Chain A
């Protein structure tokens, strides 16, 4: 028994150690908290004069600056800590707003300090979770019931029109009171059959159920499974896009906006402390409806709204308007709305609708030139109530609507997908209206179901506590291993160091892996458990030696026979890691990742890594005694 590794195995160990070193080193260069100044208009460079204005303001406010640079068309100012960074953001924002109103965006950022040669190899530090870095985590839920309701409402309007065009007269066509169902009744079987033909051809999203009510034939339309899924996906995706836009307005670097599960959206804003503002900007759950102002009645002459109309208030005005209940298009059809000036320099909002919306708008406006149209803004606010369900108390969140007209304007001529709303008092008003309209483009209302805010000082404390326990745990375990296993203990410790190195390197390399506080705990736990493999091997070697086997043979069979046990024992922990990953939200997922990765890297370092060194020391010669 020679116990020699072939050259390639030794090279593999050397190579992997080197790899670990290179990709773990960037963690010694933590990112600087910084603020980034970029021009609001794309393509415009941020000049030295802007940076100077910012630096001057910071000096006056007594904020310590670590450095500044101009790069990638923007200015970056670095700070020694996160608290200075947050103060700086508001100072710089104010200063730039006074000198260059509306021209620059000031965002929190992290500036890398990793040396260039490492960065050119793609090495960067681990991403820190919000619990270590400070910031806000939101979880929002899309109100699917409402998304379906809106969809049904829109469909009913369109259907009625199609039937009219085809000369199919329904006695009744409406949305059922409290379910996403469309009900329609026809006086004759012939009419019903005509309706069915249209429905089958043009409304494939529905299942049709026919029944007879008295002399009438009733059709009940419910969504197909596929349609329900599509609507859900569409609503969540649309909201995702809107929220991304809103988050960008907040000026945060590396925000996370992602779908979670069927109907939730997770939002992470590193560094953000003003949660109230963030929530206001993100949480604006709103919708829009374009409706005709009733042209048959004057609101001054009615005491009660006539059939098919509603009375609504007008934003920022004591006026009220009488609106038709049916909408022409909704926020779902709005692709874009932005403030602008017309040829005469008057403020206006340019609106773009999608194809379907444009067609309906054209049809309506052609028939109603010189009548008025209103934009109704609907804000949904969630309310949680305790209800008794199946004898158990549970909470249910329902949304309530607050509606007001944000614009009432006369139709000057027929228009379709592109039109302007003019007659606004100021550019600010145009800006607000456009913002509201864009906000209203959400497909379904959303509400917050979870919020976690961690202050920057707590983040720093958590890092310190995690590191301290890691170092202390490490030193204790290493000391113990040397005392108990002597030279072999030193080898196990080398493997342990290499293990942490590899673990850190993997965490830094894997995109999307973030280090959280439980993740750090996972690393600490790995340190304690990783020596297990070596303990198993060393105990086997000792045992073989006791049985009178030669040292070389003892090494060989020790590694050999312990291998299966190690594998067996580690698979259970890996299985648990998998379950944890599936269960976990944020931080717990971090624990699952470090624990599982740690098991994998420790198998390599404890078995292959130590064996390489053992072979170097003892391999290929006669050995009388092992220091184990």
Chain B
């Protein structure tokens, strides 16, 4: 196989613009309709039951309408035999008995129905988890900024963290636009994306630094293009194998893991792209040059 020589940075303005558009779009969607938060974050109760035959959602809704849980939403879950009932947080003494009560109601309607899963999350716990998750995101980004600053210089750190921000916002934006359920496992996936995306960026940066030190000729743009070409097959290979397993998870892992898998698919896709067109692009925007890599010569003031 011969050395690739693709002029990545030729399209940097165009794709940089696309990135800005995607990030802005995500921010707009997040600020107008936020995320379809799952039970972990909203609190409330959710009940998954299984029928022996395709379930009659209207009948289930009818029963619940007559009950204290009129605000419940009812939908199929995965298969037509399975039904998911979501009850928003309610007030009063029996808030932790909603699950048992709803199952009893549904069993009165059809004694064959089987309880598969009941989850109740108190409103305080949900609120805490929301705060904790936001904090975890910030801490993760902060740690990454510190880590790259220690390993590289600040221009790299800034580019890397902006790329991370780009990946996280677009993945969240994807969840927001398509109204996908955002629960704690999806949140875990976003954090995993942060690790993954930076991993990718670091491999590219490592090579960029090596080449700036080694190559005497060439403009910064050419050096970065060269580095990207050298790492390209690795970047694509790793993203490809990771995407293979994540697609397997999305297709076969079941409903409970679907949001997790989707977050990873989007995050890994965007993360691979951003190592090239956001992180490396930003190095050029900051006018990175050979001088940034010279050993700092000491200047001693010789005035008396």
Q: What separation, in Å, do the CA atoms of A279 and B90 have in the docked complex?
A: 19
Q: Are B241 and A531 in contact (CB under 8 A)?
A: yes
* Shortest beta-carbon distance from B276 to chain A in Å: 16
With A385-B91, A473-B248, A583-B136 known as contacts, the answer to whether A448 contacts B96 (CB < 8 A) is yes
Q: How far is the CA of A532 from the CA of B243 in the complex (A)?
A: 12
Q: A571 touching B257 by the CB < 8 A rule?
A: no
Selected contact of B191 from candidates A283, A579, A585, CB within 8 Å: A579
**Cross-chain contact of B252 among A283, A468, A535 (Cβ < 8 A):** A468
In the bound complex, do residue A595 and residue B245 qualify as a contact, i.e. CB atoms below 8 Å apart? no
In Å, the complex CA distance between A539 and B251 comes to 30
- Does B41 have its Cβ within 8 Å of any Cβ on chain A? no
How far does the alpha carbon of A525 sit from the alpha carbon of B191 in the complex, in Å? 13
* B249-A469 in contact (CB<8A): yes
A525 touching B246 by the CB < 8 A rule? yes
Is A450 on the interface with B (CB-CB < 8 A)? Answer: yes
Number of interface residues of B (CB under 8 A): 77
Judge whether B185 and A518 touch: CB under 8 Å: yes
Interface pair A473/B249, CB less than 8 Å apart: yes
Complex contact A531–B238 (CB within 8 A): yes
Inter-chain contacts of B96 with A (CB < 8 A):
279, 283, 382, 447-448, 451
Taken together as a complex, chains A and B put the C-alpha atoms of A535 and B240 apart, in Å, by 11
A273 to B242, CA, bound (A): 37
CB-CB contacts below 8 Å: B10-48 with A: 43, 48
| Contact present for A525 and B238 (CB under 8 Å) | no
Binds B, one of A411-419, A421-429, A454-462, A604-612: A454-462
A449 to chain B, nearest CB (A): 4
Q: Are B242 and A529 in contact (CB under 8 A)?
A: yes
Residues of A within 8 A of B253 (CB): 465-466, 469, 521, 524
Contact of A458 among B97, B117, B185, B261 (CB under 8 A): B117
Contact pick for B1, options A529, A542, A583, A591, CB 8 Å? A542
Cα–Cα, bound, A535→B202 (Å) = 15
Across the interface, name the chain A residue whose C-beta is closest to B143. A575
Give the distance to chain B from A344, nearest Cβ to Cβ, in Å: 43
Verify if B70 is at the interface (C-beta below 8 Å from A).
Answer: no
B220 within 8 A of A: no
Identify the interface centre among A481, A539, A564, A582: most chain B CB within 10 Å of its CB: A539
Within 8 A of A (CB), among B244-295: 244-246, 248-249, 251-254, 256-257, 260-261, 264
CB distance from B286 to the nearest CB of A (A): 21
With beta carbons under 8 angstroms apart, the residue of A451, A469, A531 that contacts B119 is A451
| Stretch among B51-59, B61-69, B122-130, B173-181 lining the A interface | B122-130
Is the C-beta of B212 less than 8 angstroms from some C-beta in chain A? no
B-contact bits for A563-585, CB 8 A (1 contact / 0 none): 01100111111111101101111
Q: Which residue of B43, B238, B256, B257 is within 8 Å of A529 (Cβ)? A: B238
Question: Max chain B CB contacts within 10 Å: which of A381, A481, A521?
Answer: A521
Q: Is A450 touching B147 in the complex (CB atoms < 8 A)? A: no
> Quick check: A395 and B123 within 8 Å, CB to CB?
yes
Q: B7 within 8 Å of A by Cβ?
A: no
Any B CB within 8 A of the CB of A480: yes
Size bin of chain A's contact surface: 35 or more
Which of A382, A477, A484, A564 is close to B93, meaning CB atoms less than 8 Å apart? A382
Q: Residues of A contacting B116 with CB < 8 Å?
A: 454-455, 457-458
Provide the residues of chain A in CB contact with B110, threshold 8 Å: none
On whether the beta carbons of B254 and A571 are closer than 8 Å, the reply is no
Pick the residue among B133, B231, B252 that contacts A469 (CB under 8 A). B252
Which residues B150-200 have CB closer than 8 A to chain A?
151, 184-185, 187-188, 191-192, 194-196, 198-200
> Contact at B257–A521, with CB atoms within 8 Å?
yes
* Chain B nearest CB, measured from A484 CB (Å): 7
| A120 located at the interface, meaning its Cβ lies under 8 Å from any Cβ of chain B in the complex | no
A622 part of interface (Cβ distance < 8 Å): no
Q: Is the pair A528, B246 in contact by a Cβ cutoff of 8 Å? A: yes
Instruction: Mark out the residues of chain A between 366 and 385 whose CB falls within 8 Å of any chain B CB in the assembled complex.
Output: 381-385
The yes or no answer to A452 lying at the interface (CB within 8 A) is yes
A472 contacts across to B, CB distance below 8 A = 248, 251-252
Seed contacts A395-B89, A521-B260; 14 additional CB < 8 Å A-B pairs: A273-B115, A382-B96, A384-B90, A395-B122, A447-B96, A455-B114, A472-B251, A476-B245, A517-B256, A518-B260, A524-B248, A535-B237, A580-B188, A583-B187
- Please list 10 pairs of residues, one from A and one from B, whose beta carbons are closer than 8 Å in the complex, sorted by A's number: A457-B116, A472-B252, A518-B188, A528-B242, A532-B238, A535-B237, A569-B203, A575-B147, A580-B136, A583-B188
State the 10 A-B residue pairs at the shortest beta-carbon distance, nearest first: A473-B245, A576-B195, A449-B122, A528-B245, A528-B242, A395-B123, A573-B195, A473-B248, A465-B254, A451-B120
